[in-house]
């Protein structure tokens, strides 16, 4: 294809780039990769967690997916996404990188909540020990 001036050449390149980027974010393409990740993850986790990994596409908003994953299965799903990243188009890769980021935040939030619960439980135990040393029987309801 011959372009008579550099502006038309640049315009054609930008147009082609945008078409390629949009192609990676088509709902059918995303659904394909979600299914690949789901199937591969289910193979890796075994029988106990295979029902805990599920991706569902919204019927009205085709670009919206409901991700239903057990906390224990998230590391395996993250690993599976990482394995498929080199096979994806650039825009699809960016989309699933964001999914990885969201799942990592979910793990961190869950671990922070568990640590806070452990701290609360330890404080309660110390409180009970102190109260027991002062002569209150263990049978008494102090809380």
Q: What is the pLDDT of residues 85-138, one digit of tens each?
A: 999 988 899 999 999 999 999 888 887 777 776 665 555 444 443 333 344 444
19-63 tens-digit pLDDT: 766 777 888 999 999 999 999 999 998 888 888 899 998 889 888
- pLDDT value at position 2? 58
How much is the pTM?
A: 0.69
- pLDDT value at position 48? 84
Quote the percentage of the chain above a pLDDT of 90.
Answer: 34
The full DSSP string for the chain is ---SSHHHHHHHHHHHHHHHHHHHT-HHHHHHHHHHHHHHHHHHH-TTTGGGEEEEE-SSSTT-EEEEE-GGGHHHHHHHHHHHGGGS-HHHHHHHHHHHHHHHHHHHHHHHHHHHHHHHHHHHHHHHHHHHHTT--TTS---
């Amino acid at each position: 294809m011959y372009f008579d001036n550099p502006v038309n050449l640049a315009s054609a390149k930008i147009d082609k780039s945008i078409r390629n980027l949009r192609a990676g974010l088509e709902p059918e393409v995303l659904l394909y990769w979600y299914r690949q990740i789901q199937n591969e993850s289910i193979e890796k986790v075994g029988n106990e967690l295979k029902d805990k990994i599920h991706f569902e596409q919204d019927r009205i908003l085709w670009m919206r997916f409901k991700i239903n994953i057990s906390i224990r299965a998230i590391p395996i799903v993250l690993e599976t996404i990482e394995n498929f990243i080199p096979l994806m188009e650039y825009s699809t890769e960016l989309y699933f990188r964001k999914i990885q980021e969201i799942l990592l935040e979910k793990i961190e939030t869950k671990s922070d909540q568990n640590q806070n619960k452990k701290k609360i439980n330890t404080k309660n135990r110390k409180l009970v020990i102190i109260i027991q040393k002062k002569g209150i029987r263990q049978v008494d309801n102090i809380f």
